[in-house]
Amino acid sequence: MMAVEVRLPTLLRVHADGAASVHADGATVGEVFRALTSEHPGLADQLVDADGTLHKFVNVYVNDDDIRYLDKLATPVTDRDVVSILPAVAGG
């Protein structure tokens, strides 16, 4: 299993002991999120809904690619990839 770097926005760092980035194992974004939330349970409600789908107020990128336009949580990752979690910005 590969450890993938996950970059966290300031808003979520409180759930990961203040870390700007953490590493989690997984071959897909979903597996990485399961490992990440197992290690940092406070992140669970911030990333996925009760049914296990990506929370609509969170944008996730593998390198520079938005996973909504790839395979969502099934998007494959390697230990060379960086997963970035960004809060969705609402405006008016």
What CATH number is given to the structural domain containing 30?
Answer: 3.10.20.30
Binned at pLDDT 50, 70 and 90, residue 91 comes out as: low
Average pLDDT of the residues of the chain: 92
Domain hosting residue 34, numbered range: 3-87
Confidence of residue 56 (pLDDT cuts 50, 70, 90): confident
Is residue 27 within 8 A of residue 2, CB to CB? The reply is yes
Q: Is residue 92 part of a domain?
A: no
Q: In the prediction, which pLDDT does 50 show?
A: 84
**What does DSSP assign to residue 19?**
-
Q: Residue 73 pLDDT > 60, yes or no?
A: yes
Residue 34: inside a domain: yes
Residue 39 has pLDDT above 80, yes or no: yes
State pTM to two decimals.
0.91
Task: Note whether residue 56 is domain-resident.
Answer: yes
61 or 48, which is more confident?
61
pLDDT band at 84 (very low <50, low <70, confident <90, very high): very high
Question: Looking at residues 61-83, what average pLDDT do you find?
Answer: 96
Number of structural domains found in the chain: 1
Report yes or no on 28 lying in a domain.
yes
